[in-house]
Amino acid sequence: MPQAKLGKPVPAAKVKVTGDREFKLADLKGKNVVLYFYPKDNTSGCTTEGIDFRDHYQKFKRAKTEILGVSRDSLKSHENFKAKYEFPFDLISDPDEKLCRIFDVIKEKNMYGKKVMGIERSTFIIDSKGVLRNEFRKVKVKDHVEEVLAAVKAL
């Protein structure tokens, strides 16, 4: 499977998004896209990150940018998470890790002393032509959304 590389068009992938729709990143050509990967719905860091993107959503819209959150959670879990926190953007369900592998975000993590494979919190900015322009890996939630917004505005 091809991987996303800075300065190159993002490989095509078809995924499921909230609203039980099939979706391709190419559907958003003409707009910038923030694709943020997070480990799990309804956990503290992931909830805070989603709320931060929600609270800055209008600023991203003014910058002609769509936001999409991605995790391995089910569509049902995503629907509940999105409704509970009133996210105005869609969440992508990637249980087979297709998108996760394209963006190389599945990493070995230490959970309560056990080694597990999981999503490393990461954010990617894709420009209006479908080219990967920025990547943020090993993201710390605090102030991250402001950093992403500044990068979008610099496109």
Concerning whether 100 is annotated as a catalytic residue, the answer is: no
Give me the catalytic one of 4, 34, 46, 145: 46
Long-range pairs, 63-67, Cβ under 8 A, ≥24: 63/32, 63/149, 63/152, 63/153, 64/31, 64/32, 64/128, 65/31, 65/32, 65/33, 65/34, 65/152, 66/28, 66/31, 66/32, 66/33, 66/34, 67/33, 67/34, 67/36
Catalytic residues: 46
